[in-house]
Structure 1
Amino acid sequence: MDNSLLQRRAYGALAGLAIGDAMGMPTQSMSPDRIRAEYGVKAIRTFVDASPNQPIAPSMPAGSITDDTEQALLLANQLIAGHGELDIHRYAQSLLDWESAMRAKGSLDLLGPSTKNALALFKAGVDVATTGIAGTTNGGAMRSCPIGIADRPNPHLAEIARRSSVVTHNTEQGIESTMLIAATVSYALDGAEARERCCWMQLCDCLSAMNRFEGRIIGHWTPKASVIARTRWAINWAQEHAGEHAGDIYDHDMFADQLRAVIGTSVEANESVPAAFAIATRYAERPFDAICVAANLGGDTDTIAAMVGAMLGAAHGVQAFPESLVHTVQEVNGLDLAGTADALLRVNERLQA
């Protein structure tokens, strides 16, 4: 593959992640009615300041990223420093250090519930093999995009995704969701055709196999629904409302209403990850529309929009998003996403050598 194309796609994955995160920031944890009451009836299609009534990020400036992008870049730095390998203990400590720094700045947008509980146990000296056994939320998935840039969709990627999940999301749902996002990004970077890049069903089948080592499912069992099974269902459902003329019979609002009703948009991995795949399926050729739909959904909007942006950014490249937003999200947050993407691709090259 042309190296410049690969660079644009890797840059696009990180830019899509950050743009989706920043667009979903003002609406996170809010209902659709509350979003309209605070920001108006017209859908949000650019960066806006968070309302003073925003429950997690009150009055946060337009274009600001949240923990989704910050923790993804933290993981990226760990992968770069480790030449593609991941030291679980160092990674856990880096998350704790990040939380301390955010708390010192007065931020309310800190660790998610699973990560927070797990890291408290880690800090107390509990074995990392058991700290994440209750983590079924999407914290592992939201930060896994860099794994997909640094590695091919192979057993090594699966192992790094698993290791990145162990300390905080060591459950079937946590590990499945982390592998799904990481491998989707990795497949999309290498895809030659748009339809091939967005063939989510093939990916789900592949991940079902990748998620098994020595004949057993990785991660602790919980009674919650499988992320892979629900994602497969969500893709099938969304495909009924995809295509060139889908909007003629099923507009954005109708799609969003049904998605909330039958899939859900909570922080649980088995809702937010299938929701992200459903949006990516319907809007596979319209990446920016996909992010906008996600940002206006209600619920865990910043994470869903970030995952959608990462997957479709990897498939289409950075040019899929408005240049002004790519510039603004980096300027506001002091990011060098192209530089990080290039460093992760160099890790990928070394791993494949």
Structure 2
Amino acid sequence: MADAAGTMDRAMGALIGGALGDALGMPTQLLSPARIAELYGHVEDFVAPVADHPVSKGLPAGAITDDTEQALLLGRILVSSGDRFDHARWVNALLDWERDVKARGSYDLLGPSTKRAIDAINEGVPAEEAGRSGDTNGAAMRIAPVGIMMPPEPLEALVAKVAETCRATHNTSIAIASAAAVAAAVSSGLACGDWRAASERAVAAPVLGATLGNWVTGGDIAARIALAQQLVRGKSEKEATRLIVDLIGTGVASQESVPAAFAVLEVAQGDAWRAAVISANLGGDTDTIGAIAAGMAGACAGLSRLPQDRVARLKGIDLAEVRALANDLVSARVARSSGKEAAA
């Protein structure tokens, strides 16, 4: 069991690590590896997107995107909900957030499942129905707060909480399984700090998650994560990157980007910044893969082991607000752990 200071450091590591991966991948998202190399060379630090970037144009270097914004928003709803996740408050928060995003001219930054669900809710579709076809990676990209709040055991409780948060936008077996894998890795990282143990733990969670929500077709998430990890293990970064791009895939589909993030974590050997750099150069959904991979790495390493100069250069994020949220999530985690011990 990690001490209180260590748990808080790792909670911050999960949230800020995710922001680093998100911001580093922001200017390269949706581009091919060849186009990334042509425009930016090998991305190793924050860069501004090119003027004609399809979704990131106009954002400054180091800016976070919807990946981080939605994670922090979900965290706040989790804290305010208490034991029973407040779906109405979450939907209303998403709708308010969407209006703000549109006012900033960034509607295209929304992922396809979230965008489709929000449009459906706006048209009067009940929230519990809106997410029945959401199978992309939006749930996994923002799930870190659940992993911070929920202890790794019992795993069934963690996965059930993941499924609750998915209902409005990603209420499918494949999205829940993917988000459960990431949440389990984050939760395990907070508990033990060992990225290898967290990676192994993550393979059990999607087996449970795949039994929940509306079944949709797609590769088995647990099997694909294990395959991705094995595929890159022991390979050079260059060779591993080629394997991730060619055989795992880097698109928004859950069965591509989530296993890809676990492969990146393996190649980076638990180093959050290295995970962000690898992700940013992959092509495809670089910001989301980076947010997931660097967030999981950060949960295992802690904020204190992240590059502080890069953290200071993040744009669009208030570190004091993130710290307050992390403290609330950790307090909820401690309360749940204490309740289990008392019950035992």
Do the structures match in fold with TM over 0.5? yes
Q: Is the 8 A contact 2:20 2:294 kept in 1?
A: yes
Q: Aligned residue for 1:138?
A: 137
Please give the residue correspondences for 1:1-353 in structure 2 after superposition, counting only pairs within 5 Å. 1-39=2-40, 41=41, 43-153=42-152, 154=154, 155-191=156-192, 193=194, 195-197=196-198, 200-208=199-207, 210-211=208-209, 217-241=211-235, 250=236, 252-329=237-314, 332-336=316-320, 337-352=322-337, 353=339
Structure 2 gaps, min length 5: 340-344
Q: Is the 8 A contact 1:204 1:232 kept in 2?
A: yes
2:213 corresponds to which letter in structure 1?
A: G
Bigger shift: 101-110 or 229-238? 101-110
Identity %, equivalent residues: 37
Count of aligned positions: 334
* Separation in 2, partners of 1:135, 1:326: 32
- 1:160–1:193 CA distance, 2 compared to 1 (3 A): closer
Deviation per residue, 1:236-282 (Å, 9 max, x gap): 212242xxxxxxxx2x3322122110000000010000000011112
Secondary structure in 2 matching 1:219: coil
* Separation in 2, partners of 1:207, 1:173: 8
Q: Is the 8 A contact 1:103 1:110 kept in 2?
A: no
Q: Deviation at 1:341? A: 1.2
Q: TM-score, normalised by structure 2?
A: 0.92
- 1:50–1:188 CA distance, 2 compared to 1 (3 A): same
Q: Is the 8 A contact 2:185 2:201 kept in 1?
A: no
* Separation in 2, partners of 1:4, 1:54: 41
Q: Deviation at 1:76? A: 0.5
Secondary structure in 2 matching 1:30: coil
Q: Is the 8 A contact 2:139 2:175 kept in 1?
A: yes
Bigger shift: 266-275 or 43-52? 43-52
Q: Deviation at 1:24? A: 0.5
2:274 corresponds to which letter in structure 1?
A: D
Q: Aligned residue for 1:244?
A: none
